[in-house]
A and B are shown apart, each in its own frame.
Chain A
Amino acid sequence: MTLYDDLRSMADTEHEKERRYGYCLRVCTAAACVSQHSDSIKKAFDAEVKARGLDEQIQVKGVGCMGLCAAGPLVMIDPVRDNTLGPTLYEKVTVEDVPEIVDALAQKQVVERLERKMDIPFFQRQVRIVLENSGIIDPENVDDYIAADGYQAFSHALTSMSPADVVKEITASGLRGRGGGGYPTGLKWSTVAKASGDVKYVICNADEGDPGAFMDRSVLESDPHRVLEGMCIAAYAIGASKGYVYVRAEYPLAIDRLKTALKQAKRKNLLGHSILNTEFDFDIEIRLGAGAFVCGEETALMASVEGRRGQPRPRPPYPSDHGLWGKPTLVNNVESYANVATILRKGADWFAGIGTEKSKGTKVFALAGQIENTGLIEVPMGVTLREIVYDIGGGTPQGTELKAIQTGGPSGGCIPADLIDLPVDYESLVKAGSFMGSGGMIIIDNTADMVNVAKYFMDFCKSESCGKCIPCRVGTAHMYNLIDKIDRGQATHADLDLLLSLCDLVANTSLCGLGKASPNAILSTLRVFRNEYEAKLLDGHVGAQPEAK
């Protein structure tokens, strides 16, 4: 009997206890709901259930994100042994609602005024791999994760697969980097695996810097062990004995949950020396970011892990060969790691069967902006923007029309509404002038002024420029000034031309990917919404009218 079987049977025993409850009452304890006091709501449920002596029938559980953040705080009641009442979702719950909900549950009834029907596309159209445990398990309980097949893939890899087998499986799955660029994950792993040297590092990039993106935060808050397991498997595959999670300091809850998860994993010997009685040693440390978007770039991120200014350096040499402290280093983002365990458990073929020919699997998106169902979704690659915006997202708020969809954060671009039937995969998005990015999707309606939107992103790129290379440092400052001049109605065509030649310079000569991508907001809006620019120029074309209010 291996040690994993011990862990599993312990977890299953715990799980058995849970099966004796009549209902499980799940309270979302991820950041968006917590900021609306869901932690107090959970405490109120605990107290209420106990006070009524129902604590043998109703289990109250803090869980991760259920996705529909706009309707938070969310509470889900799932039947366990008692099937009188089907699964029920309550939205916008307050502490005051708690007695009423418990009352109703005791009488096997539903509080209709709080109920959110679940037979809507938001829930039905999603395919959950990365988020499979989100909103279901307790992110602070490792047994919950193990009982949901957690760490099984890692244990299986350690005991029955060679590192090369693991790399082969990930390669066969077709998984591509979920941080933005879409570099094949298997290829990255095999490069680091082949690099010479005894000391190698695994880094998890959780420096989710795109404003309007909260996928990684949500995964870390809802299912932190999934990310750790992915890192463990990667470490085994490439031969690393040390890993770092580089996470934004602005995510205190995610950091807390990660710390708890690390402690639990160490206690269970899933991290540390001779993991699960094998010869494999691996440990993970947390490193906090400190508010620098550029640290999402891998060479800048490594400089930051080393305690230095987060400035990128020219590549090559690539991190796979000369990374953290000059050693071969694997850098993947949260969502990439979160896919790994499931791929090993269910097989590369299963994963490759989801998505499109070149973009396999699913993608998590954070839907925000002018959209009804703000929140977190996971969809198979290849679904259309229409399905995301209208079916899952519920469309723009009443009375407004969709104008553009911004993807890829400040490095991405705006996709105009008439490309609504575009399939969402790496190549199609690039062809449309944007890119996948980490998964922020901002819905822009016709009340928005696109020049102003571009100015917003330019301001971001300017203040996040690290200042090392001249084109990005000085170029973004002038680009911001020029677009500001246009926005204020004081510019001419000559200014616009100068802006365009600056965009060309910065895109082609900047040191790192962030500098190179900084003109994208201007270029992508100018291509489609040129009339809005024209309307603001002193010598703009006659007849051009600003579309915005």
Chain B
Amino acid sequence: MTAPTRSHIKTLKIDGKDYSGHEEETILDIARQNDLFLPTLCQIDGLSVAGACRLCLVEVKTWNNRLVPACTTHVEEGIEVLTHSERIDNYRRMILELLFSEGNHVCAVCVSNGNCELQALAQKLGMDHVRFPNLRPVRVVDMTHDRFVLDRNRCVLCARCVRVCDEIEGAHTWDITGRGIDARIISDLDTPWGSSDTCTRCGKCVNIYPVGALVEKGSAIGEMVKHHDFLEYIAEMREARE
């Protein structure tokens, strides 16, 4: 007796409409393929997923209205997904408020002004004020590198720099020290970036960073434009080679 071959294609509903996807694909993949907007910050195609920023949370009606991150949740047959609702949008705005309250995110004096993913998300989601007092953690700015600057006060701890340096460049210069609200980005043994003997000066971390925490030296306010198309190409080529 042979069992019928199991289908790898799943059909699901997103915001009331029918879609289909391969079981290896996530809800975020399907949303993007169909131009449905989902906010993301820690996720970027070409790097491993972290599921950390919680901005892409969607509500799955068929799972008791549970909230799950679209970036790590694979499609399943018959699920009904809601990408926007008053509840989800409120949560997303509040998460952005928390991020803004965590560091120095004053756009007017930032080199990434106008080219910043956090700023764009705040505009798009209508986060126009922050109800929480700024936590003002004292974080060191590292200016020791000859080409780049790390301003930890603008860091959102998405760990995209850590992942690109480890997974794509293979140097693992970056990591995170401490934990909780004291966590911050470090190079090597929390030693100056400029004296790092692991950094290859490739600049991938700078280009991939969503905000103005990692920038090119000498950029003026609003000048820092980032390019991360390279990531997709590298990822595709690696896939082809495997």
Q: Is the CB of B181 within 8 A of A314?
A: no
Complex formed: what's the CA distance from A463 to B178 in Å?
10
Binds A, one of B94-102, B196-204, B217-225, B232-240: B94-102
Interface residue? B183 (CB, 8 A): yes
Binds A, one of B51-59, B105-113, B207-215: B51-59
Q: Is the CB of B181 within 8 A of A462?
A: yes
Complex formed: what's the CA distance from A509 to B87 in Å?
11
Partner of A469, one of B52, B74, B91, B176: B52
Complex formed: what's the CA distance from A316 to B179 in Å?
24
12 A–B contacts, CB within 8 A, in A order: A309-B176, A313-B50, A462-B181, A466-B179, A467-B178, A467-B180, A470-B52, A470-B98, A471-B95, A474-B99, A509-B91, A509-B95
Q: Is the CB of A477 within 8 A of B69?
A: no
A462 cross-chain contacts in B, Cβ below 8 A: 180-181
Interface residue? B11 (CB, 8 A): no
Q: Is the CB of B95 within 8 A of A505?
A: yes
Q: Is the CB of A471 within 8 A of B178?
A: no
- Interface pairs A-B: 5 shortest CB-CB: A467-B183, A314-B51, A465-B180, A474-B98, A477-B181
Q: Name the residue on A nearest B68 (C-beta).
A: A314
Q: Is the CB of A470 within 8 A of B99?
A: yes
Please report the number of residue pairs spanning A and B whose Cβ atoms sit closer than 8 angstroms. Answer: 86
B183 cross-chain contacts in A, Cβ below 8 A: 467, 473
Minimum CB–CB distance for A259 against chain B, Å: 29
Interface residue? A430 (CB, 8 A): no
Minimum CB–CB distance for B119 against chain A, Å: 16
Complex formed: what's the CA distance from A493 to B73 in Å?
38
Interface residue? A468 (CB, 8 A): yes
Residue-by-residue, is B54-88 near A (CB-CB < 8 Å gives 1, otherwise 0)? 10010000000001010011100000000000000
Minimum CB–CB distance for B125 against chain A, Å: 14
User: How extensive is the interface on chain B, given as a class?
Assistant: 20 to 34
| Residues of A within 8 A of B (CB-CB), count | 30
Interface residue? B6 (CB, 8 A): no
A502 cross-chain contacts in B, Cβ below 8 A: 94
Interface residue? A508 (CB, 8 A): yes
* A474-B94 contact in complex given A469-B52, A509-B54, C-beta closer than 8 Å: no
Complex formed: what's the CA distance from A470 to B181 in Å?
9
Partner of B176, one of A467, A470, A471, A474: A467
Partner of B179, one of A292, A510, A511: A292
Q: Name the residue on B nearest A511 (C-beta).
A: B51
Q: Name the residue on A nearest B137 (C-beta).
A: A477
Complex formed: what's the CA distance from A313 to B50 in Å?
7
Q: Is the CB of B57 within 8 A of A509?
A: yes
Complex formed: what's the CA distance from A292 to B179 in Å?
10
Residue-by-residue, is A501-513 near B (CB-CB < 8 Å gives 1, otherwise 0)? 1100100111100
Interface residue? B132 (CB, 8 A): yes
Partner of A498, one of B53, B91, B131, B182: B131
8 A Cβ contacts from A317-342 to B? none
Complex formed: what's the CA distance from A133 to B81 in Å?
52
B94 cross-chain contacts in A, Cβ below 8 A: 501-502, 505
A469 cross-chain contacts in B, Cβ below 8 A: 51-54
A509 cross-chain contacts in B, Cβ below 8 A: 54, 57, 67, 91, 95
Complex formed: what's the CA distance from A468 to B74 in Å?
21
Q: Is the CB of A478 within 8 A of B101?
A: yes
Partner of B52, one of A468, A478, A508: A468
Complex formed: what's the CA distance from A313 to B53 in Å?
12
Interface residue? B157 (CB, 8 A): yes
Interface residue? B135 (CB, 8 A): yes
Q: Which of B52, B67, B157, B183 has the most CB of A within 10 A?
A: B52
